[in-house]
Amino acid sequence: MTDLATMRESALTRIEEAQDAAALESLRVELLGKQGSISGLMKTLGKMSPEERQSEAPKIQGLRSDVADAIAAKKDALDAAELERRLASETLDLTLPAPQAPKGSVHPVSQVMDELAEIFADLGFSVATGPEIEDDWHNFTALNMAETHPARAMHDTFYFPDVDSEGRRMLLRTHTSPVQIRSMVKQGAPIRIIAPGRVYRSDSDATHTPMFHQVEGLVIDKDINLGHLKWTLETFLKAFFERDDIVLRLRPSYFPFTEPSVEVDVGWQDVNGRRVLGGDGDAPGHGWMELLGSGMVNRRVIEFAGLDPDEWQGFAFGVGVDRLAMLKYGMDDLRAFFDGDQRWLDHYGFSPFDQPTLSAGVGASA
């Protein structure tokens, strides 16, 4: 039988002399690994007679325990020595800022929605919402859109196979105008609302997507005229783009839900390859850009809402929220708004702490 006392003394001496963790691990494998010398002794117990096993097993088990304990103690001592060495040699500058943790950002569409709500709240408007799945009466008929109007066609509008309890076809709303009808029916007049939200049309290219965001405004009161409309739009656009030189041009147009109807153009100029709104569009180096549609609410629409058009008049307007974001913050492709590209969001997103206020300026640094 191997001299266990000699083996024990040799093993403990070598463990004590180990200079680092690597050397200690090598000793552990040599002594206690599957092919280790002490593990080999454990295997010989199976070949012994019962009498020999009863005599030798406690000695071998004791040797194995002593070596394992010595290795564990040495490992603790080496770890403590390494920690002391690192504490003595390494320094930590507690005045440095902590590493910045990943953080989310506010999407430009959400940011512009908040800016619009802030501006119009100051003008006395409230925010109204409505369902995105609409019936064709609220989406078309109540807005004076005839059965033959092109917008009702399948290639322009997303229809559902369902009908409501009154037999009206269901669809994804093509504008937020149905919110105007629902608001007038529910609360009557006078009324001042904006209706922001998602809308859907069968269209897709660099400046159009099947789903986009729109905000519409509605004012119904007594003795309302186009002058009120122009002042409201000028005040809104000057606050939104944070420029006092916004100049508007109103052109006659046609919308079934307004009469008279006007397209609103805004003056702009090219600055370093980017369209910047501001200035008179007829001035040298400037031009006019069509921005939104508007007009006086059609008498038939007021009647559909259950109001008397001889007593109540009003104006309405609508503009794409995504387009406003593109013009203000410099994006050039609408499709990128909905790709979910983290790099794009990191570049154009806003801090959740940059809440738009009129006192500080509704814009925020992206």
52 is in an annotated binding site: no
DSSP 8-class letter at 293:
E
DSSP 8-class letter at 331:
-
Judge whether 278 and 245 are in contact, CB under 8 Å: yes
Provide CB contacts within 8 A for 356, sequence distance 6+.
111, 114, 115, 118, 362, 363, 364
DSSP 8-class letter at 158:
-
Q: In the sheet where 169-172 sits, what is the strand order?
A: 133-135, 169-172, 159-163
Phi-psi sector, 217: left (phi>0), alpha (psi -120 to 50), beta = beta
* Spatial distance between the Cα atoms of 276 and 269, rounded to a whole number of angstroms: 6
DSSP 8-class letter at 91:
-
As a three-state string, the secondary structure of 310-330 is: CCCEEEEEEEEHHHHHHHHHC
> What's the start-to-end Cα distance of the chain, in Å?
80
Q: How far, rounded to the nearest angstrom, does the alpha carbon of residue 253 sit from its chain's CA centroid?
A: 36
Judge whether 32 and 67 are in contact, CB under 8 Å: yes
Judge whether 265 and 291 are in contact, CB under 8 Å: yes
Q: What is the DSSP string of 218-282?
A: EEEESS--HHHHHHHHHHHHHHHHT-TTB-EEEEEEEETTEEEEEEEEEEEEEETTEEEE-B-TT
Annotated binding residues: 259
Annotated binding residues for Mg(2+): 259
